[in-house]
Amino acid sequence: MIPKYAVPRLVSACCLLFVLNLSHATVVRMDFAIGNQPDKQIFIEMLDLPFPDGAPQTVANFLRYIEYTDPATSQVIRRYDNTLIHRSVADFVIQGGGFTYIPVPGNENLARDLAPVVIDQTPNGQDKTVPNEFAAVRSNVRGTIAMAKVDGDPDSATSQWFINIGDNTNLDSQNGGFTVFGRVIGMTADNAGTTVADEIAALAAVDIRAVDPAFSALSSLPLFGYNQGDPVPVVDSTNLVRLKRVTVVEPVQPSVLDFGVTLLNSTSPAQTVTVQNLTDSAFTVSALTADLLAAPFSLSSETCSGATLLPLQTCTLFITFTPTEAGVKSASFNITTDSPALPSLPVSVTGTGAPQAPTVSFSPPLGPTLEFGSLGPGQDDRTLELTISNLGIDTLTIDARPFSGTGTDNLALNNPCAALATGESCTLSITFSHLLTAIETAAQLEILTNDPTAPRSVIQIAGFTSSDNDGISDLIEAAVSASGDGNLDGIADVLQDSVASLPDTFGRYITLAADPGMKLAGVQAITSPAPDTTPRLASGSLDFRHGFIAFQLNEVPVGGAATVTLYLPEGETATHYFKFGRLPSDIIVRDPVVGVIARPPHWYDFSFDGRTGAEIQGNRIILHFRDGERGDDDLTANGSITDPGGPALASASGSSGGGGGGCSLSQNAGRGNRLPVDLILLLVGMLVLRLFRQHRPSY
């Protein structure tokens, strides 16, 4: 409640300092219906500066009542729309935000349809209030907007607000001070009686509390067309002051123009950009030159160049789009002014040029194969999406045919795409499931359209099931031998998640066998983990006749030991096993805050040192690991070991040994141990952060 007292119309200069702030603040527009007159607007600049110059919590509360999206339902809630000015006291205030009224056309009933504004609730069901943010630099002078509250409770503001019609500085010392959180643009001491707020305040107010119990709070209700002393009229939308809508506005409307789809070599209808002076001072718009926009956009006409705009005045620009090429085109420009608060107003424009005929577009673009990779039992289905768009003018028709090929039972198609108008898109999804074991999917999806340039598109789809989740297809593992047992332990490899068999990069089968209880994952044969560097010896060359192998070993005891045995084809052997990664000696910093910082990965000979490394026994290579030590690239004891590598045969002659089909890698110094400048800078930054966190003061 706001009491009225006689106050002097003298305001100290210090109380007006906040009005002079030059930063562009949030501005809201209130659209009022005063009786049955055309709508009128009040623009309010929010004081969303930090306290004490602003009232940030109060502004946030006010904006939340303007519009709020419920996170649970995604419903947009606008609680100030269709509210009333329910209180008016001459030369003092007009007050709103307390009651809604949505009339039923032809059957209006104020008592039936009057309802209090919904107020936020705390978790225990009490009204949620805003802490008082009064400050002397934000005084209750003419043209300011402040929050109403309960007598004797400074922190009781919720939804109700009031506009000061006069200089009500006495409110600064009552009930902890009434929090001013905005000001009406253009409403000053020099224009008393001329603004929309003044027009509302000039209406005669009537006490209708005796008419109906529902009107117990309406002791000073302003009514259009009512004269003081007349009998109480029927109160409805023809004489109430209704706040139809409150919106946040910008000085440029819109600041983003989208011309949509326009036929090639034709000009779109002009779109309008409106510039509005949302400040209390006049400003001048700079000259707009002919090269403000580049083709295919153009400024067809405008009223802004050199125009001086008084507060709330507007000027307009008219922009067209004439595409000569298909596809999306974009541009941006700035409208500059001499206003310190609004020196530059950015505008962006976009449009799509399109031919007349329907034109299909796929995103991502169709590639050679849509790869699902491996999927094992218990793993979630995998879904890949394909967006289909019509970049033409005419309607695009789409017909996705049934899958063909092998393993199609593992695939499901969700196709909502049948016909797309110009500029429309739809998303087609393909789901890969682990339904059948030992089935490798090599399928095709045919999409037919009426695009004359692309009537038929074929999507190749690949995926495979891996019963042991090691990343190798069951069919591939089963083909290692007649029994599907690459390590000859009497159990088929597809049934063991610690064993994986696969062809190397030259098609010859190799087998990996980890300690029982540990799990191999992501097993694959690769050409090289670092193609621009190669392992080196003091003399001779290295023949990596089996390429390289990458895998991840999981379920390792944290910090514990693990072995993986690599079985080469019968009759094959190696002299070295090289790995690509980092060694404990590469660590520069190990810190609980910044983590591990080390030199870049490099090649190293993973020879056995009694603790870690490779023991070569004919065609068997036993890889000894310790979690977090040499051989584990992340150098962290975390129960997982990852490090690509490969067996090599050294040749003193400088050429590869026999066996054919191998790849001989010559000596190369590479970039292994050099520390790049960017890593040094990162290290310095991390150390500074560490020192700061250790020595910063506590508050």
3-class secondary structure for 479-535? Answer: CCCCCCCCCCCCCCHHHCCCEEEEECCCCCEEEEEECCCCEEEEEEEECCCCCCCCC
Q: What tens digit of pLDDT does each residue of 254-312 get? A: 999 999 989 999 999 999 999 999 998 999 999 998 788 999 999 999 999 999 999 99
Query: 256 and 221, same structural domain?
Result: no
Q: Where are the alpha helices (DSSP H) in 457-509?
A: 474-478
pLDDT above 60 for 426 = yes
Q: Among 340-344, 532-536, 691-695, which is the least confidently predicted range?
A: 691-695
Query: 258 and 233, same structural domain?
Result: no
Sign of the alpha-carbon torsion through 58, 63, 66, 71: negative
Q: Is residue 215 part of a domain?
A: yes
661: left (phi over 0), alpha (psi -120 to 50) or beta: left
What total of structural domains would you count in the chain? 4
State the Cα–Cα distance between residues 429 and 414, nearest whole angstrom.
5
Q: Is residue 473 part of a domain?
A: no
Query: 605 and 529, same structural domain?
Result: yes
Q: Is residue 531 part of a domain?
A: yes
Query: 199 and 54, same structural domain?
Result: yes
- Beta-carbon contacts of 12 under 8 Å, excluding residues fewer than 6 positions away, are none
Query: 56 and 157, same structural domain?
Result: yes
pLDDT above 50 for 658 = no
Task: Return the structure tokens found at 280.
Answer: 């209390």
Among 219, 248, 277, the domain boundary falls at 248
Query: 350 and 205, same structural domain?
Result: no
DSSP string, 209-229: TTT-GGGTT-SBEE-TT--TT
Q: What tens digit of pLDDT does each residue of 100-153 get? A: 999 998 899 999 999 999 998 888 888 999 999 999 999 999 999 999 999 999
Task: Return the structure tokens found at 564.
Answer: 């993986």
State the Cα–Cα distance between residues 412 and 402, nearest whole angstrom.
10
Q: What is the domain-level CATH number for residue 182?
A: 2.40.100.10
Q: What is the domain-level CATH number for residue 326?
A: 2.60.40.10
State the Cα–Cα distance between residues 107 and 418, nearest whole angstrom.
45
- Beta-carbon contacts of 550 under 8 Å, excluding residues fewer than 6 positions away, are 522, 523, 524, 526, 529, 644
pLDDT above 90 for 695 = no
Query: 101 and 55, same structural domain?
Result: yes
Among 312, 337, 354, the domain boundary falls at 354
Q: Is residue 592 part of a domain?
A: yes
State how far the alpha carbon of 582 is from the alpha carbons of 252, 626, 665, in Å: 55, 14, 21
Q: Is residue 684 part of a domain?
A: no
Give the pLDDT mean for 374-395. Answer: 86
pLDDT of residue 475: 81
Q: Is residue 4 part of a domain?
A: no
Residue with tokens 């090639």: 264
Q: Is residue 499 part of a domain?
A: yes
Range of 280's domain?
252-354
pLDDT of residue 338: 95
* Helix/strand/coil for 509: strand
What pTM value is reported for the model? 0.59
Give the pLDDT mean for 374-397. Answer: 87
State the Cα–Cα distance between residues 499 and 467, nearest whole angstrom.
12
State the Cα–Cα distance between residues 612 and 634, nearest whole angstrom.
15
Q: Is residue 690 part of a domain?
A: no
C-beta atoms surrounding 524 within 10 Å:
17
State the Cα–Cα distance between residues 420 and 392, nearest whole angstrom.
10
